[in-house]
Chain A
Amino acid sequence: MTKVTRYPPGEIIIWLFIMAELLVFGLFFAAYAITRIDNVELFELYQKNLDTTAALYNTIALLSSSYFVIRSVIAIKADEQKNAYRWMLLAVAMGLVFIVIKTDEFSHHIDNGITLSTNTFYMFYLSLAFFHYLHVILGLVILGVLAHNMNKGMYSSKENASVETGASYWHMVDLVWLILFPLVYVM
Chain B
Amino acid sequence: MSQGFTKSMARNIFYGGSMFFFLLLLVLTFDTVKSLPKTDNRENLTEQVVKGKHVWENNNCIGCHTLMGEGAYFAPELGNVYKRMGNSKEAIIAFIKFRPKNGIPGRRSMPQFNLTDDELDAVAEFLKYVSEINNQNWPPNIQG
Contacts and interface: CB of A to CB of B under 8 A. Distances in A.
Contact of A138 (B10, B20, B38): B20
A159 B6 CA distance: 12
Contacts of A116: 31, 35
Contacts of A159: 2-3
Interface stretch (A11-19, A37-45, A59-67): A11-19
A115 interface: yes
B50 interface: no
B72 interface: no
Contact of B2 (A17, A134, A160): A160
Interface residues of B, number: 17
A173 B8 CA distance: 22
A116 B35 CA distance: 9
Interface in B1-36: 1-6, 9-10, 13, 16-17, 20, 23-24, 31, 35
Contacts of B23: 134
**Main secondary structure on B side of the interface with A:** helix
A95 B104 CA distance: 70
Interface string A138-174: 1001100000000000000011111011000000000
Query: Which among B2, B23, B35 has the greatest number of chain A C-beta atoms within 10 A?
Result: B2
Contacts of B35: 115-117
B10 A161 contact: no
A162 B23 CA distance: 25
A116 B9 CA distance: 34
A113 interface: no
Contacts of B1: 10-11, 160-161, 164-165
A158 B2 CA distance: 6
B31 A10 contact: no
A127 to B, nearest CB: 9
Given A11-B1, A14-B5, 18 more contacts: A9-B4, A9-B5, A10-B1, A12-B5, A17-B17, A115-B35, A116-B35, A117-B35, A131-B24, A134-B23, A134-B24, A138-B20, A159-B3, A161-B3, A161-B4, A164-B1, A165-B5, A165-B9
